[in-house]
Amino acid sequence: MHLLTQPNYKAYALNTFRNIPQIERLSESERKAIEIVGNVLPFKVNNYVIDELIDWDNYADDPLFNLVFPNKEMLLPEHFSQMEHILQNTTDRNLIRETAYKIRLKLNPHPAGQVELNVPELEGVKLTGIQHKYRETLLFFPSSGQTCHSYCTFCFRWPQFVGMNEIKFAMRETELLVKYLEQHQEVTDILFTGGDPMIMKYEVFRQYIEPFIESNRTNIQSIRIGTKSLGFWPYKFIDDEESDKFLALFERAIKSGINLAFMSHFNHPNELKTPAVQKAIRRLRNTGLQIRTQSPLLRHINDDADTWAEMWREQVNQNCIPYYMFVARDTGAKHYFEVPLVHTWEIFRKAYQQVSGLCRTVRGPSMSATPGKVQVLGVARIADKKVITLRFLQGRNPDWVARPFFAEYDDKATWLNELKPAFGDRFFYEDELERMYQAKTEGHLSDN
């Protein structure tokens, strides 16, 4: 069913999902699995995803169904039984929570050194809502944007949604942010992320953007907003009572000279096909805002070249710019979604070969790993040795960027830390990365 007038937003969580009319199509054991897995991984789904994106006649293989609904295989068997057992034998919420928490700790809730290395300080205070990993670009986690219109089962931001407070990046004050940026003139880009910043009400959202429109002493030239709202709730920009206010704010920012871009997460071409999303994209583009797109490559969702080629073409046809293909992160339900690096690259290559140059703005496959964003350039042969060629798209040290380096061929490896150098015993950046770690750790010790 496709609608162009906005339905009321309606979201379902663990305690209400049995009210979703279509859920009757699932077997009772599938519904139970949603409860069991959903206690560990984030779960929330709204009526747009249910009514307009999922093909319920074929739900088990439907990419959008698998993107938002947990299933049994998303937990390792031992974790699944552990949670199942607890839910069968107790109604004690604390005990259930404690069990879930213990399992989550085993799922690498904080990959890629996000806490240890990326959180900056201002006058001795840790700015926990900021990550400053790459010289030019700052990530900012507005505290009111730490949720989404629906949750993705693959999400690496899941600790923020399930109440693991001590590792929740959030910060209320834009004041601190602006102060930090005034002292860091090397930062030209700010990337608002979450959760989804476009979950915010207009009155809250504008507080974060307006300081950069009004004259200020930062050097911010580009504002990016990382969002899944076009995939999960495009009505935000069509006839929501606040749509026009958002569009006017975007237009005002752009007129003031700022380059404003949506980093829009689309995981599957089906997300680009509803009348609602197409209209939302047109309205956003009319303000002058750019839409760049990104997604990880995920088994059960989009692990096939034709799907990617179709997705990039559809994006370019709708005036969006393909930007990143990511490798699925080493966190959460990784075992369910992961695809080995070599196979990921093969899918990338086969998709890239099918499309015109306008789609080839996409970069990838890229791992957001501890030292930086590492692109898999592909498999090559150097003097009879089969290698995987890599390079940094972004590095903790900007000097690392765009230097090809080589790993031993390994068609099972799914992440950088599983690769071995093809020549010598360390990758070229490893000594320096280690020194960076040590400097930070010593910093912690002298703080105490």
Ligand X SMILES: *Cc1c(COP(=O)(O)O)cnc(C)c1O
Nearer to ligand SF4, 154 or 250 (CB): 154
Q: How far apart are the first and last CA of the chain?
A: 59
Of residues 141 and 336, the one with the C-beta less far from ligand X: 141
Residues 281-340 that bind ligand SF4 (CB under 6 A): none
- Give the C-alpha separation, 354 to 333, whole Å: 31
Residue 135 exposed, middle or buried by CB count within 10 Å (0-12, 13-18, 19+): middle
Cα 240 to the center of its chain, rounded Å: 25
Q: Choose the contact partner of 296 out of ligand SF4, ligand X, none; CB within 5 to 8 A by kind.
A: none
Q: How far apart are CA 440 and CA 442, in angstroms?
A: 5
> What does the block give as tokens for 210?
């307006």
Return the number of the residue (152 or 181) whose C-beta is nearest ligand SF4.
Answer: 152
Alpha-carbon distance of 30 to 28, in angstroms, equals 5
The interface partner of residue 71, options being ligand X, ligand SF4, none and the CB cut-off 5 to 8 Å by kind, is none
Smaller CB distance to ligand X: residue 33 or 139? 139
Binds 265: which of ligand SF4, ligand X, none (CB < 5-8 Å by kind): ligand SF4
- Whichever of 109 and 194 has its CB closer to ligand SF4, that residue is 194
Q: Which one, 146 or 278, has the nearer CB to ligand SF4?
A: 146
Q: Helices 77-89 and 28-38, interaxial angle, to 10°?
A: 100
In the complex, the smallest distance separating the C-beta of residue 137 from ligand X, rounded to whole angstroms, is: 4
Q: Which is nearer to ligand SF4, 206 or 265 (CB)?
A: 265
Nearer to ligand SF4, 157 or 373 (CB): 157
The region of 90-98, 99-107, 147-155, 317-325 touching ligand SF4 under the rule CB under 6 A is: 147-155
Rounded Cα distance between 93 and 106, Å, is 20
The residue whose two tokens read 């959202």 is: 205
Query: Between 353 and 392, how does the x/- string for binding to ligand X read (CB under 6 A)?
Result: ---------------x----x-------------------
Provide the β-strand partners of residue 374. 367, 392
Is 394 among the residues that bind ligand X (CB under 6 A)?
Answer: yes
CA 271 to CA 240: how far, in whole Å?
19
C-alpha 276, offset from chain centre: 22
Q: Does 271 bind ligand SF4 (CB under 6 A)?
A: no
Identified binder of ligand X from the candidate list 137, 143, 219, 259, rule CB under 6 A:
137
Q: How many residues sit in the footprint of ligand X (CB under 6 A)?
A: 10
Q: Name which position in 52, 62, 84, 196 contacts ligand SF4 (CB under 6 A).
A: 196
Report the alpha-carbon distance of residue 190 to residue 375 in Å, rounded. 22
Q: Is 194:145 a contact under the CB 8 Å cutoff?
A: yes
Q: What is the largest CA-CA distance in the chain?
A: 64
Residue 373, contacted partner among ligand SF4, ligand X, none, CB below 5-8 A by kind: ligand X
- In angstroms, rounded to a whole number, what is the distance separating the alpha carbons of residues 415 and 142? 29
Q: Taking CB under 6 A as the rule, does residue 134 contact ligand X?
A: yes
DSSP string, 382-418: ETTEEEEEEEEEEESSGGGBT--EEEE--SS--SGGG
CB of 205 to ligand SF4, least distance (A): 16
Residue 131 binds ligand X (CB under 6 A): yes
Residue 350: name the closest of 411, 404, 307 by CA.
307
194 near ligand SF4, judged by CB under 6 A? yes
CB-neighbour burial class of residue 184 (10 A; exposed 0-12, middle 13-18, buried 19+): middle
Q: Choose the contact partner of 368 out of ligand SF4, ligand X, none; CB within 5 to 8 A by kind.
A: ligand X
DSSP state of 114: H
CB of 46 to ligand X, least distance (A): 27
Q: Is 112:369 a contact under the CB 8 Å cutoff?
A: yes
177 close to 184: Cβ distance less than 8 angstroms: no
Strands 372-382, 363-368: pairing is antiparallel
**Contact pattern for ligand SF4 over residues 151 through 170, marking x by CB under 6 A:** xx--x-x-------------
Instruction: Name which position in 70, 109, 142, 195 contacts ligand SF4 (CB under 6 A).
Output: 195
140 binds ligand X (CB under 6 A): no
Q: Judged by CB under 6 A, which of 23, 139, 181, 209 binds ligand X?
A: 139
Question: Within positions 218 to 247, which residues make up the interface with ligand SF4, using CB under 6 A?
Answer: 228
Query: Which residues make up the interface to ligand SF4 (CB under 6 A)?
Result: 148, 151-152, 155, 157, 194-196, 228, 265
User: Which residues are near ligand X by CB under 6 A?
Assistant: 131, 133-134, 137, 139, 191, 368, 373, 393-394
